Amino acid sequence: MRFVILLTMLLLTQPPDSVLVAFWNMENFFDPFVDSTLTYNEFTEKGSQKWTMQRFYQKRNNIYKAILAFSHNQAIGILGVCEVENEFVLNALFGLTPLKRFKYRWIHYDGPDRRGIDPAIVYSLDRFQLLYSEAFPYRNPDNPNMVSRDILYAKFFDYRQDTLHCFVNHWPSKYRGELETVDARNCAATIVRHKVDSIVTINPQAKILIMGDFNDTPDAPCLSQVLCANTNGEGLLCNLFANAKTLDFKGTLKYQESWMVFDQIIVSKPLLKADSATLHCNPNDVHIVHEDMLLTDDPSYHGQKLNRTYVGPKYYGGFSDHLPVTLLLRY
């Protein structure tokens, strides 16, 4: 019996041969409290969304169950998220639910978004050690009054002392129209590309993950031309979500009858080099999570649509208006 216990402990402490990374836009993951530092307090009990503690816990529980489902009840190495309000919601999700057994820690900086929603990076202490983090502000020289989310950066060691650089993004939306906002996304892409170039200037073999809700498709100029995230193996960056033939679902969000891939994971070329000793990935190891719980029937435009928390002011009690995306890293 003692031998069985010792063998089990040994197996559990052996490093895995793969690690999952993921990204998810959690759609307005607010706490229900009034924030005296913000003018936007619609997600409160007396706000227009009538966001109560009961509704908050319903969303929190929905999210953790979905994460357990698409991670197959295993620890996610690195999870990028966006549209989270603060430390309270992150702790409620990763510190006060069954997810706490995975020893998750998180990186969050209060940013300038007028609603108070930010990107964050969640990581498992069993898989990664944080070396450094920083929030890069969005600054547009052509429109200095424009405010948008920070770009979150973190540098990690894995358990084999392999260094991984990670950027989590939530680029400006098309809310004011595509043509009116294209320059804003080009600006965000320029910021990220500048930071990437500064990393590879020091280490041309740097392993870099760029993930997020880019509010545009992989073939958009902001991604394909400004960030220079290609699909043909040329250049430094490869967008793993640009080739529809390798994806197992139609998109990560739906507008009327059209599915689009706004949520993506981009890697630097050194991560595509198969090396049994260090982290690498296969371009086919990407996945748009489309668990049944995340979708519902779409009577207006047929097929399925996202099982959302709200549609406008109407509360549905669902999950998010985006699907998560994942990538499996291997050794």
Segment 223-241 mean pLDDT: 91
More confident residue, 115 or 14: 115
Segment 257-278 mean pLDDT: 90
What are the distances in angstroms from CA 209 to CA 52, 164, 241, 266, 280?
36, 7, 13, 6, 11
Confidence of residue 231 (pLDDT cuts 50, 70, 90): confident
State how far the Cα of 198 lies from the Cα of 211, in Å rounded to an integer: 18
Q: Do residues 123 and 20 touch, judged by C-beta distance below 8 A?
A: no
What local confidence, expressed as pLDDT, does residue 16 receive?
Answer: 62
| pTM (global) more than 0.85 | yes
Percent of the chain residues past pLDDT 70, beyond the cut = 94
What local confidence, expressed as pLDDT, does residue 275 receive?
Answer: 66
Is residue 17 scored above 90 in pLDDT? no
Structural domains of the chain, ranges and CATH numbers in brackets: 16-330 (3.60.10.10)
Q: Do residues 324 and 23 touch, judged by C-beta distance below 8 A?
A: yes
Segment 234-247 mean pLDDT: 92
Q: Mean of the per-residue pLDDT values for the chain? A: 92
What local confidence, expressed as pLDDT, does residue 178 receive?
Answer: 75
Confidence of residue 9 (pLDDT cuts 50, 70, 90): very low
State how far the Cα of 306 lies from the Cα of 255, in Å rounded to an integer: 10
State how far the Cα of 98 lies from the Cα of 73, in Å rounded to an integer: 10
Give per-residue burial for 82-121: e unless 16+ CB within 10 Å, then b: bbbbbeebbebbbeebebeebebebbbeebebebbbbbbb
Sheet holding 163-170, edge to edge: 128-136, 151-158, 163-170, 208-213, 263-268, 237-239, 229-230
Is residue 154 scored above 90 in pLDDT? yes
pLDDT tens digits, 87-136: 999 999 999 999 999 999 999 999 999 999 999 999 999 999 999 999 99
What are the tokens at 93? 């999700």
More confident residue, 65 or 313: 65
Is residue 247 scored above 70 in pLDDT? yes
What local confidence, expressed as pLDDT, does residue 2 receive?
Answer: 43
Is residue 175 scored above 80 in pLDDT? no
CA-wise closest residue to 315 among 31, 59, 65: 59
Q: Do residues 218 and 264 touch, judged by C-beta distance below 8 A?
A: yes
What local confidence, expressed as pLDDT, does residue 11 receive?
Answer: 38
